[in-house]
Structures are given as structure tokens and as C-alpha cells.
């Protein structure tokens, strides 16, 4: 397998505290790599190291085949765009002015491509509006557009949906999928929101206390875990009777809710429930498996 990023026993200490403690990570070319960990696990630290904002204490990594200790690493880093923590944007400028500024920083010969970028991230109609009047989601998308200015092959996004409303989250998700599928951009996306990641990631790396405790492809994870459907009904015992008859495995959570570990036919289920006077109040497909998998790896409640 061809890896865009490979880290070998990477360590980063802040005084006596080991934020990264022998981390081994492998990001395949073309992946959307979900970097999962509780707050404080070391995700941002790894990203800072990759981007050259801080040096490792020990260990090494290769980015596009270039070792972090070799001169080639600067060239490799030019193939990477990143949005770390909050995007760095000029609040008193428009979206277009922000992009022009980044083009100047990168020394690009002309401003061709800015229109395409604005369209790509859905900001083409913001005209003279200054960034300080943008929503958080718009700022985040502008941050991604800035990261895309050098036409990178890899994009690093640190908690890109943090604090966004549901619409903002959907827009960022669609943008990431688009960039990955249409432009072939490899994406490293750190998050502690598992539900969101599970809609995107092709690979996962689980980090805990500065160590990568597991790396797994979404496909492998799927075969390891089970998806479930969470149903809410007016009469839980009626639901239990019906599920017992169909032989589906389930778990009752409270007097209205149960998880069914299969993909039940909703029409049949609704009709069967209606026959016994029970209403189907809610139906939600859940990827709880990812969450349980994460908890089984790192233990405890996630933050």
C-alpha cells in the first residue's frame, strides 16, 4: 500500500508530559483518514508536527516519501494544506481578498483559480461581505479554501465541524467528500464526533494518551461491528413480541426505545405494530458500533 504519511515511534514531550508517546500511523493515498481520540489525546499535537509548526522530541515521519529530517520535507509540505484549530482568516477582508492574500503568500503568479475555489466552497456569492460577518460554517469553508490555494494533494483538518450547526456540518461533509472523490485529495480529519466521522472516513486511527491504539479500514470495521436501528414506539412490550416472532436480535433501552441489530423492513414493522395498536414514533439508523468500538479500545466515556 502507498502511504502519504507514515510516522515511526513519534514522540512529543512538553516538559515531562508525553503528548505523543511512540505513535505509529499510516495514511494510505486517497484515504479519508478519521483520526479519533478524546480531547487531550494528542491529535492536534500530531498535526502540528506534520505541518512543521513544532519539531518531534524523538521518532520520525515521512510525508510523500520525504523524511522529516531531510530537506525534501519542505517540498513535501507544499503538497499539504491544513486548517488547524480555528481557521486563520482576516476578519476585516472579504472571502476573495483573503484568498488573494494567500495567493500572494504562496507567491502564485496570478489570481486565476480564485473564482473556482470560491464556487467550490460555496462562497461565490458573498461579494463585499466581510469575514467578520460570516457564520462559523462560512469561516470554516473559507479556511478550507485557503488551505486549497496551493492545489494540495493532501488536506489536514483539525476538528472541522467543531461548533457548527447541523447545516454547517452537512456542508463541510459534502465538501470533504467532493474534494476526496472528485479531486483525489487525501484527507486527514481529526475529530471526537464519531457519528460525523463514520459518514466520511475510509480509514480510522484511534489515539489514546499519545499512542495509536488501533488502525483499521472502514470496511474492516464494518465487518467487526454491527449497525443497529434505534426505534421508538408507544408500546415497548408490543414491539418486543413482534421482534421475538421475527427472530431479530434486539435490546430494550427504556419503556419506549429499543435497538434492533439488523436492518428491519420499516413498512412491515409499522404494519405489524399498527395491528396491535402500537405507534412507531421514531426510527434512526445508528452507527453505534463505531462508538462502542472506540470505548472498547480506550475505555470510559468519551468527552
Q: Site for ligand ADP (CB under 6 A): which residue of 10, 21, 32, 43?
A: 43
Q: 14 vs 74, which CB is nearer to ligand ADP?
A: 14
Indicate the residue among 214 and 256 with the shorter CB distance to ligand ADP.
214
Site for ligand ADP, residues 13 to 42, rule: CB under 6 A: 14, 17, 19, 37, 39-42
Beginning with the edge strand found earlier in the chain, give each strand of the sheet holding 154-158 in spatial order. Answer: 80-83, 154-158, 186-191, 32-36, 203-208, 211-217
Say how far apart CA 65 and CA 57 lie, in whole Å. Answer: 21
Give the C-alpha separation, 171 to 176, whole Å. 9
The Cα 176–Cα 170 span in angstroms is 10
Nearer CB in complex with ligand ADP: 49/114:
49
The CB-of-15 to ligand ADP minimum distance in angstroms stands at 7
| Among candidate residues 192, 125, 118, the one with its CA nearest the CA of residue 162 | 192
Beta-strand relationship, 58-63 and 3-14: antiparallel
Span near ligand ADP by CB under 6 A; candidates 12-20, 130-138, 171-179, 196-204: 12-20
- How near is the Cβ of 2 to ligand ADP at its closest, in Å? 27
Which residue, 21 or 198, is less far from ligand ADP as judged by CB?
21
Instruction: Please state the closest distance from residue 22 (CB atom) to ligand ADP, in A.
Output: 15
> Which cell goes with 10?
513519534
The answer to the question of residue 157 lying near ligand ADP (CB under 6 A) is no
CA angle (185 as vertex; 181, 190 as ends), nearest 5: 100
Buried b (16+ CB within 10 A) or exposed e, 65-77: ebebeeeebeebb
Sign of the Cα torsion 272, 273, 277, 280 reads negative
Whose Cβ is closer to ligand ADP: residue 7's or residue 45's? 45
3-state SS, residue 160? coil
- Applying the rule CB under 6 A, the residues between 45 and 84 that interact with ligand ADP are 45
Stretch that binds ligand ADP, among 43-51, 117-125, 138-146, 216-224 (CB under 6 A): 43-51
Nearer to ligand ADP, 19 or 298 (CB): 19
Q: Which residue from 7, 21, 44, 98 is in contact with ligand ADP, where contact means CB under 6 A?
A: 44
In the complex, which residues of this chain contact ligand ADP (CB under 6 A)? Answer: 14, 17, 19, 37, 39-45
Amino acid at each position: 500500500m502507498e502511504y502519504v504519511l507514515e510516522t515511526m515511534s513519534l514522540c512529543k514531550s512538553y516538559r515531562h508530559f508525553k503528548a505523543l508517546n511512540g505513535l505509529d500511523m499510516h495514511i494510505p493515498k486517497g484515504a479519508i483518514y478519521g483520526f479519533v481520540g478524546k480531547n487531550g489525546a494528542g491529535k492536534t499535537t500530531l498535526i502540528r508536527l506534520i505541518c512543521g509548526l513544532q519539531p518531534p522530541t524523538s521518532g520520525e515521519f515521512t510525508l510523500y516519501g520525504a523524511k522529516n529530517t531531510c530537506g525534501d520535507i519542505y517540498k513535501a509540505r507544499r503538497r499539504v494544506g491544513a486548517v488547524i484549530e480555528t481557521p486563520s482568516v482576516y476578519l476585516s477582508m472579504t472571502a476573495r481578498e483573503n484568498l488573494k492574500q494567500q495567493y500572494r503568500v504562496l507567491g502564485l503568479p496570478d489570481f486565476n483559480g480564485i473564482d473556482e475555489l470560491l464556487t467550490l466552497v460555496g462562497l461565490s456569492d458573498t461579494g463585499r461581505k466581510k469575514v467578520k460577518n460570516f457564520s462559523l460554517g462560512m469561516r470554516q469553508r473559507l479556511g478550507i479554501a485557503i488551505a486549497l490555494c496551493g492545489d494540495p494533494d493532501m488536506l489536514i483538518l483539525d476538528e472541522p465541524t467543531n461548533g457548527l450547526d447541523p447545516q454547517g456540518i452537512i456542508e463541510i461533509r459534502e465538501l470533504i467528500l467532493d474534494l476526496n472523490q472528485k479531486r483525489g485529495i487525501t484527507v486527514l480529519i481529526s475529530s471526537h464526533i464519531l457519528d460525523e466521522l463514520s459518514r466520511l472516513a475510509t480509514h480510522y486511527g484511534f489515539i489514546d494518551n499519545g499512542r495509536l491504539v488501533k488502525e483499521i479500514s472502514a470496511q474492516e470495521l464494518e465487518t467487526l461491528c454491527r449497525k443497529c436501528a434505534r426505534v421508538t414506539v408507544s408500546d415497548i412490550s408490543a414491539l418486543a413480541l413482534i421482534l421475538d416472532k421475527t427472530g431479530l436480535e434486539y435490546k430494550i433501552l427504556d419503556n419506549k426505545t429499543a435497538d434492533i441489530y439488523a436492518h428491519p423492513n420499516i413498512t412491515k414493522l409499522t404494519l405489524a405494530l399498527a395491528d396491535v395498536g402500537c405507534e412507531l414514533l421514531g426510527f434512526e439508523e445508528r452507527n453505534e458500533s463505531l462508538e462502542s468500538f472506540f470505548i472498547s479500545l480506550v475505555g470510559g466515556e468519551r468527552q
